[in-house]
Amino acid sequence: MTMLPLPAQKQLTTMLGHPVAENPIDRMFDAVFAHHGLNWQFWKCDIASEASLAAAIAGIRALGFAGACITVPYKVAAIPFLDEVDADVQAIGAANFMTIEAGRLIGHNNDGKGVVKAIEKVTPIAGKRVAMLGAGGAGRAMAVELAWAGASHMTLITRRQVQGEEVAATVTKASGVPAVWQPWVGEAKIPAGTQILMNATHLGCAPELESIPLDWGQITPDTTVVDVITNPRITPFLQTAQDKGLPIVDGVEMLVQLAMQIFSAWTGIAADEAVFQRAVAQALGESA
């Protein structure tokens, strides 16, 4: 009897976070892997609590994964379980992906780099005053990278004073750019003169599609409105901005920009943006 050769075991990659169900990253990466003929696969892993995080990261090492993404709420909590972190993680204090080299887990952060590329497709960052809603693991990376990209001032609007003040101090220490905390009580108040307004919270994510409690009264027509949410592409926050005629930057564009960098770090293959854009549009049901 002729024995058919069995295919090689797929090379696994993953994302650790909670929740992860609505994120299209797995379908995007799997489509890109297939496009390049790679026998790779991407798994989203919902890690329900921080108590399970150490075991999950140990599993990545033990099972020989090729790489992993880290998403909310574990971008800070994951760092002690890594073997090494790069200079960006040291400055920002959060990691959003890891490479694995000879069994060593190395943490990196390109959250902000993806955001900078996405925003600069719409408007320059240099010299702009930025206000950010939320300052979690993703928000702190974005705040630092926006400062490194030339933002002139940063306001962190959060409900937790300790978090907001700590991230503001991190931004100033890393970049020299003035950064301040502003309390978020009831409807968020946006400082006068804000030119880039970013939502770095989970408000607006599918399936809840929550509106952001925000006073739009002081937001001027030249303000660029940015959202980190990846599903849906146009959140209630961005829809309101569009209805007011404001320029917007969506979270899907940010995801594409950072995913391209992660793909190249994992595979050594130059990323083709058209392939990523097509894959994520299909994942979101935006194209056939």
Catalytic residues: 75
DSSP string, 163-226: HHHHHHHHHHHHH---EEEEE--SSEEPPTT--EEEE-SSTT-TTT-PPP-EEGGG--TT-EEE
- For residue 23, give the nearest of 271, 202, 146 by alpha carbon: 202
Residue 144 · residue 171 · CB < 8 Å: yes
As a whole number of angstroms, the distance between CA 152 and CA 128 comes to 5
DSSP 40: E
Is residue 117 helix, strand or coil? helix
Is residue 104 helix, strand or coil? strand
N-term to C-term CA, the chain: 42
Place of tokens 């206000």: 131
As a whole number of angstroms, the distance between CA 46 and CA 140 comes to 22
